[in-house]
Amino acid sequence: MDNHKPSLINKLFGKLSGSLLPENMDALRELLRQCHAQEMLDSDTLARLENVLKFNQMQVRDVMISRAQMDVIKTTDSIERIMAYVVDTAHSRFPVIADDKDHVIGILHAKDLLKFALNPEQFKLESLTRPPVFVPEGKSLTILLKEFQEQHNHMAIVVDEYGGISGLVTFEDLMEEIVGKIEDEFDEEEDNIFPVSAERWQIKATTEINDFNQYFDTNFSTEEADTIGGLVIHELGHLPVRGEKVVVGDWLFTVARADKRRLHTLMAMRVKADGAAE
């Protein structure tokens, strides 16, 4: 095996003359796979290197969170409403809007709210709002990553060719394209059902319906779905986006976290017969 290593390394990095440098991206990928076949790279390293090559060709529009999925804070929201929303959505940063999502005036960091938990009367949203960074849909991810690092920024608002808001992109979105899914604090929570307050629970979408029924003494059927996420998707008739709500039986489910491929986290609370929250 060692007899092959020098030639593979030379192929991978090229001689000083550059005569053995890969002619194109496909050739470079093939060299990386040869290194993996010769056990010079493990599978995780190969996957990340291939992700880097793909990353270099991607634009913001390829990874951004769409406008419809943006969780935002309104300038008219009270401190109580904002804190409840932060808990429900489990984000660390929020765009702050004036009239609608086309009028993003700043970014709110959830950590800045902590000092007002015991002194809500002192809260002034405008004093906490940080200037937003706007980027075009066609911006290179490589360039944006460099700007995020240089400016110590973690979120940018994405605009289309006409200047309208089309979504947002975060530092985490970029990193996940290279290293894969990054689990956050809520993903690390071992319990599928986690009480947020006396009346509200955070539910992993993968929670088995039978486990939900046992925990809450409910009787949801498993005929159409096996998990709570599957039940919500069945009721809505589509893969939901963050913020969507649906009432199933006497429970109100709000989508707290979802992406283009799957539903991750729900917030659940009991409702009265008229549909109002208890």
What is the DSSP code string of 159-183?
E-TTS-EEEEEEHHHHHHHHH-PPP
Contact 169, 143 (CB under 8 A): no
Which CATH class name applies to 189-270? Answer: alpha beta
Structure confidence at residue 178 (pLDDT)? 85
Q: Letter for the amino acid at 236?
A: L
Who has greater pLDDT, 131 or 185?
A: 131
This prediction has a pTM of: 0.61
CA-closest candidate to residue 198, choices 250, 269, 127: 269
CATH superfamily of 61-179: CBS-domain (3.10.580.10)
Residue 215 CA to residue 257 CA, distance in Å, equals 22
Structure confidence at residue 188 (pLDDT)? 47
| Per-residue CA distances from 203 to 111, 227, 277 (Å) | 23, 11, 17
Residue 262 CA to residue 185 CA, distance in Å, equals 19
Residue 177 CA to residue 140 CA, distance in Å, equals 13
Q: Where are the domains of the chain?
A: 2-57, 61-179, 189-270
Q: Hey, CA dihedral for 170, 175, 177, 183, is it positive or negative?
A: negative
> Per-residue pLDDT tens for 67-89?
877 889 999 999 998 988 888 77
The answer to whether residue 50 scores a pLDDT higher than 90 is: no
